[in-house]
Amino acid sequence: MTYKSVNKTIVFLLVLLFAITSCKQDKLTPAKEADLLATIKKRGKLVVTTNYNSIEYFVYKGLPMGFQLEMLKAFSNHLGIKLELLITNDLASNAGFLAIEKCDMIACNITITKERSQAVDFTLPILQTRQVLVQRDPNKTKDTNNKKTAFIIKLADLAGKTVYVQKNSVHFDQLQRIEKLIQNRIHIIESDSLETEQLMELVSNGGIDYTVTDENFAKVNKTYYNNLDINTTVSLRQNLAWAVRHQSDSFLLAINSWLRKFKTTSQYQMIYDKYYRNPRSAYMVQHEFYAIKKGKISKYDKEIKKYSKIIGWDWRLLASLIYQESNFRPEMVGWSGAFGIMQMMPETARRFGVTQKSSVAEQIKGGVKLKIVLDKLLPKEITDPEERIKFILASYNAGFEHIMDARNLAKKYGKNPNIWTNHVEYYLKMKSKPKFYNDPVVKYGYSRGYETYRFVNEVLERYKHYKNIVKK
């Protein structure tokens, strides 16, 4: 495909998106869209599409991290609702999700342009950056090919050069502007299989000669590709923002009001510094348990995958539980005497042949066997597989007996004893109050139910992050 036809494809995508957005107004009137904030709050969940890479969203040593993730958590906490992420790693797909109302917002570092503003409304800028050319530093690299790669200092030097960029990125458009400026052809190749991070790696190892990316992103990645040069700027300073559908007035106003204040806080500065100015970022990306590159969550993935099959769980769910219990630290001993990677109580562990001297594999196997027992103890009326998982997690944390008490309370007060969220979980939290733990239907007394409520939510939320980034 020629560079001109690729450009037409991008224009077509923008026009198509605008048309879809316009057509959707027959279904969602402007008045309803203007009340999007109320709809989101009533739903109790903010649905956002974003991308994963070494800065925005990733998993490191089992912990979900990233600039966008922390910003979105801060915003959803401000609204008092939960956060759900959809991952595509493709701006056109992100825009498609937004257009068909599969999400409420695109939360990536999207460069604000006049063309894109026809399809979406942008928030206040989150960051500013310039676009830079990424090339090898001749003083730090010896080219092994027959011809020496030209080092680009001036934009005019790009004439006749081949530059790779990520598909649907703003960098393609900027290179086309440079073509007009220098009145010479640049061979622009859009990659639909490689992201900017991977293109930078290819430049570093000599696979390609040039790519273009945002300066703030390039600075972080340069720390672990130290033979790269990013000093040739190819654009003026540009604003980066989130995007919402047209006529999402109340929601856009809420985001902008929050951003205006949040960007002045020490919390925002801490998040920014953590991901854009932290030299540790280079170490994390090269680490064995940086999940995007290595596909690993922990050093015990092999054992987790093996024993998760016994209970029929996704291994990433079991990994999330283990992270919650011990942060993958088999030497850990809790205040209550629970020990090991599964944090089993000594008496329970002995039932399954596990001691503090047991291997990690034996500890994981013992923990899985306990979950099988809990699954068998749970009433058959809990038929939904996802609900059973919640009940198993809760029983593992609080003890099966306390969960049965909470089910009895739910039944007594007209809630569904077979549904965890907003039903049984509510009465487990109430078991810390005398009125409820002294109730005649309660046999096992007081429980710190809120801890178990949080335990279940955090395990399942982390599991979603693992599914977003780590292959099954």
Q: What is residue 279's predicted lDDT score, i.e. its pLDDT?
A: 56
- 215: which 2 tokens? 């300066």
Q: What is residue 168's predicted lDDT score, i.e. its pLDDT?
A: 82
Amino acid 320 reads S
The residue behind tokens 């039903």 is: 423
Beta bridge partners of 233: 132
CB under 8 Å to 252, separation ≥6 — which residues? Answer: 121, 123, 244
| Segment 185-190 mean pLDDT | 95
| Segment 57-66 mean pLDDT | 82
- Rounded CA-CA distance 159/281 in Å is 35
Residue 245, helix vs strand vs coil? coil
pLDDT tens digits for 386-434? 999 999 999 999 999 999 999 999 999 999 999 999 999 999 999 999 9
Q: What is residue 10's predicted lDDT score, i.e. its pLDDT?
A: 45
Q: Each residue of 153-168: b (16+ CB within 10 Å) or e?
A: eebeebeebebbbbbb
Mean pLDDT of the chain: 87
Q: What is residue 2's predicted lDDT score, i.e. its pLDDT?
A: 35
Farthest CA pair distance, the chain: 86
**CATH number for the segment(s) 3-127+242-286:** 3.40.190.10
pLDDT of residue 151 exceeding 50, the answer is: yes
- State the SS3 of 107-170: EEEEECCCCHHHCCEECCCCEEECEEEEEECCCCCCCCCCCCCCCCCCHHHHCCCEEEEECCCH
Q: What is residue 281's predicted lDDT score, i.e. its pLDDT?
A: 53
Q: What is residue 142's predicted lDDT score, i.e. its pLDDT?
A: 67
Most confidently predicted of 52-61, 190-199, 378-387: 378-387
Higher pLDDT, 144 or 366: 366
Task: Specify the CATH class of 301-469 in words.
Answer: mainly alpha
Please report which confidence band the pLDDT of residue 30 belongs to, taking 50, 70 and 90 as the band edges. Answer: very low
Q: Which helix (H) or strand (E) holds 65?
A: strand 63-65
| Segment 1-13 mean pLDDT | 40
pLDDT tens digits for 338-381? 899 999 999 899 999 999 999 999 999 999 999 999 999 999 99
The radius of gyration computed from the CA coordinates of the chain, to the nearest angstrom, equals 26
Higher pLDDT, 15 or 56: 56
Q: How distant is the alpha carbon of residue 417 from its chain centre?
A: 32
Q: What is residue 4's predicted lDDT score, i.e. its pLDDT?
A: 39
Give the DSSP letter of residue 277: S
- Rounded CA-CA distance 49/88 in Å is 7
Do 409 and 436 form a contact (C-beta atoms < 8 A)? yes
Torsion sign, CA atoms 278, 458, 100, 120:
negative
- 348: which 2 tokens? 């329970």
Q: What is residue 1's predicted lDDT score, i.e. its pLDDT?
A: 34
pLDDT of residue 146 exceeding 60, the answer is: no
pLDDT of residue 48 exceeding 50, the answer is: yes
Cα separation values, 11 from 7, 117, 120, 131, 148, Å: 6, 13, 14, 21, 36
| Segment 34-55 mean pLDDT | 90
Torsion sign, CA atoms 263, 266, 268, 269:
positive
Q: What is residue 90's predicted lDDT score, i.e. its pLDDT?
A: 79
Do 234 and 212 form a contact (C-beta atoms < 8 A)? yes
| Segment 227-231 mean pLDDT | 95
Higher pLDDT, 24 or 105: 105
pLDDT of residue 456 exceeding 80, the answer is: yes
CA angle, residues 304, 306, 311, in degrees to nearest 5: 85
- Summarize the chain as % helix, strand, coil (round to 5): 50, 15, 35
Percentage with pLDDT > 70 across the chain: 88
| Segment 8-19 mean pLDDT | 42
pLDDT tens digits for 233-284? 999 999 999 999 998 889 999 999 999 999 999 999 999 988 888 655 544 4
Q: Is 131-236 assigned to CATH 3.40.50.720?
A: no
- Rounded CA-CA distance 389/54 in Å is 31
Topology agreement, domain 3-127+242-286 and domain 131-236: yes
The residue behind tokens 């009125």 is: 435
- Rounded CA-CA distance 350/417 in Å is 31
Q: Which helix (H) or strand (E) holds 60?
A: strand 58-60
pLDDT of residue 287 exceeding 80, the answer is: no
Spans of all domains in the chain: 3-127+242-286, 131-236, 301-469
| Segment 47-59 mean pLDDT | 87
